[in-house]
């Protein structure tokens, strides 16, 4: 299959034009005329995963490997080290970032993974009904997302309505309306202070754990179009160590 063919299919699934102007979704390494044998799907790319990919393949990432402008290619620095190896192995790279966030990620996580009914979806957040006490809700989220130690700001004992955004979207907090709890990753200390004062609970669902679903979500979309893709997720760069109690 040619890159141009799969690119058009991916564009039908989630139009690349939906990305914000500061994003870098699309074809990052390769030419539209290039051909490939296998398609891999991953949230990110790391050296361990790259070693496992077969030559002359395509990997579709959620996070763009090339984001900020590169002024040089130093094989001892990230992401240049990976770019060197990708070119040597003739592996092409496409990223589906903010466009896929807007069309799929939040909806899929809320309905398919967490099992809640969506009330409303905006550009970057999904609102849904919970009707559970906070502790039950938070522990359920931790279990569903395989988070061993979950970080929370408990401002309310009962959660009726929640909003969620995958990845790290603490900057959205001030724009939320009418929610008892906000779920996202990479929540900052000062956002937690603000939430406590404004009587809104927070659950930090972590960046990796909330977006590793990208691969299974996209795999299902591609399967419906007769294309078999391989889930080959990179590993979480964070580990969890239990501290002193």
Q: Is the pLDDT of residue 202 over 90?
A: yes
DSSP state string for 18-51: GS-TT---EEEES-TT-B-S-EEEESS--HHHHH
Higher pLDDT, 242 or 20: 20
Co-location of 80 and 111 in the same domain: no
Assigned domain for 33 exists: yes
Co-location of 31 and 58 in the same domain: yes
Structural tokens at position 236: 């979480």
Structural tokens at position 138: 């938070």
Assigned domain for 16 exists: yes
Split into its structural domains, the chain has a count of 2
Q: How much is the pLDDT for 245? A: 59
Give dist(CA 184, CA 83) in Å, integer: 30
Q: Is the pLDDT of residue 242 over 90?
A: no
Tens digit of pLDDT for each residue in 17-60?
A: 999 999 999 999 999 999 999 999 999 999 999 999 999 999 99
Co-location of 186 and 133 in the same domain: yes
Q: Is 231 helix (H, G, I), strand (E, B) or coil?
A: strand
**Structural domain harbouring 70:** 3-99+211-231
**Which parts of 5-117 are beta strand (E)?**
26-29, 39-42, 58-61, 92-95
Co-location of 142 and 201 in the same domain: yes
Average pLDDT of the chain, as a whole number: 96
Q: How much is the pLDDT for 70? A: 87
Here the CATH number for the domain that contains residue 182 is 3.40.1390.30
Assigned domain for 187 exists: yes
Q: Which residue has the tokens 């896929």?
A: 100
Q: What is the DSSP letter of 238?
A: -
Mean pLDDT of 101-118: 98
Assigned domain for 239 exists: no
Q: How much is the pLDDT for 53? A: 98
Co-location of 222 and 190 in the same domain: no
Q: Is the pLDDT of residue 155 over 90?
A: yes
pTM metric for this prediction:
0.96
Co-location of 18 and 73 in the same domain: yes
Tens digit of pLDDT for each residue in 187-196?
A: 999 999 999 9
| pLDDT tier for residue 81 given thresholds of 50, 70 and 90 | very high
Co-location of 64 and 82 in the same domain: yes
């Amino acid at each position: 299959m040619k890159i141009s063919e799969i690119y058009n299919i991916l564009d039908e699934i989630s139009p690349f034009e939906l990305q914000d102007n500061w994003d870098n979704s699309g074809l990052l390494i390769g030419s539209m005329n290039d051909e490939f044998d296998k398609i891999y799907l991953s949230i990110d790319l790391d050296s361990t995963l790259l070693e496992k990919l077969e030559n002359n393949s395509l990997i579709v990432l959620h996070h763009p490997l090339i984001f900020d402008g590169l002024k040089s290619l130093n094989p001892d620095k990230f992401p240049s080290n990976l770019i060197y190896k990708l070119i040597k192995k003739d592996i092409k790279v496409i990223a589906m970032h903010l466009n896929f966030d807007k069309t799929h990620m939040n909806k899929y996580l809320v309905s398919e993974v967490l099992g809640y009914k969506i009330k409303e979806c905006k550009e970057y957040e999904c609102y849904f009904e919970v009707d559970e006490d906070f502790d039950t809700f938070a522990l359920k989220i931790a279990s569903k997302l395989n988070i061993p130690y979950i970080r929370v700001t408990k401002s309310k004992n009962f959660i009726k309505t929640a909003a969620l955004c995958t990845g790290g979207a603490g900057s959205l907090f001030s724009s939320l309306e009418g929610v008892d709890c906000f779920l996202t990753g990479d929540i900052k200390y000062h956002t937690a202070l603000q939430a406590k004062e404004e009587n809104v609970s927070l659950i930090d669902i972590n960046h990796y754990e909330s977006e590793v679903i990208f691969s299974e979500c996209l795999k299902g979309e591609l399967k419906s179009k007769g294309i078999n893709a391989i889930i080959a997720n990179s590993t979480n760069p964070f580990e969890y160590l239990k501290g002193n109690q």
